[in-house]
Structure 1
Amino acid sequence: MIFYNRHGQAVVNMNERGQLFSFQGHPLGYIKNDVIFTYQGQHLGWLHNGWIRDSNGHAVFYGDHPTGGPIPPIRKIAPIPAIPQLPPIPSLPPLPPLRPLFSSVWSQYVDTNFFHFR
């Protein structure tokens, strides 16, 4: 599945195992039980109703048929993704915080900077 940012640009590609990659093939993180983590074990947010949401509940990226968020822009044509690199072995993830109320506001994160340590 491809995820797009608030400008309609394809930013993240997810495989069938819930692993998230940049279009350059770099491993970014993974999804387990709708919770998004880095490979270092840091909690980043949630996958909910076709939206990747940050830890404050704001919309970061949207997938095919998102519901319950801001109005997504028209998608631009996605580039052909590079062959993904082997992702690292994930650290033991912490218990995620309680989910916030999900908002109809866009997050401050626009691109793969969402996956970098904060």
Structure 2
Amino acid sequence: MEFYDPSGNVVCYVTDNDRVYSWDGRPLGTMRKERLFRLSGQLVGWLKHGYVVGMTGDCLLFTPQADSRAGPTLPTRITKPSKGEKQPFPQIGDRAPVPSMPTMTRSWGLSPF
């Protein structure tokens, strides 16, 4: 699964083993049960309707499957560069407790990566 920022640039992707890498190959975090975490264990947001919904309810990233009726207007996706080679994945921090998901807005927030 690939994630794009509000400008339409590809930012990161999730591997089959739920690891999240930047497009240039840097380890960024993990995806568990429709939730995106940083390497530190901090929650980034929830996956809903193809958007990553952040702690305030704003949408931070989107997937190619995002439903534009549920979130903010989707930008045109920019042509993807070649993927970088994956770097070694470090030890993952303990996951912080997950709060309740806020109500999803139709606004863009800042990209988390």
Q: If the length of structure 2 is used for normalisation, what is the TM-score? A: 0.89
2: distance between equivalents of 1:104 and 1:49?
12
2: distance between equivalents of 1:65 and 1:38?
22
Q: Quick check: 2:14–2:31 contact (8 Å CA) kept in 1? A: no
Code of the residue aligned with 1:28 in structure 2: it is L
* Match in the other structure for 1:39: 39
- The percent identity for this pair of structures is 26
1: distance between equivalents of 2:17 and 2:53?
19
* Match in the other structure for 1:70: 72
TM-superposed deviation, 1:83: 1.4
Q: Quick check: 1:35–1:96 contact (8 Å CA) kept in 2? A: no
2:12 corresponds to 1:12: yes
2: distance between equivalents of 1:17 and 1:102?
27
Q: Secondary structure at the match of 1:61?
A: strand
Q: Quick check: 1:5–1:62 contact (8 Å CA) kept in 2? A: yes
In structure 2, stretches of 5+ residues that fail to align are: none
2: distance between equivalents of 1:38 and 1:106?
19
* Match in the other structure for 1:103: 105
* Match in the other structure for 2:54: 54
Count of aligned residue pairs for this structure pair: 111
CA RMSD of the aligned region, Å? Answer: 1.3
Misfit runs of 4+, over 6 Å: none
Code of the residue aligned with 1:70 in structure 2: it is P
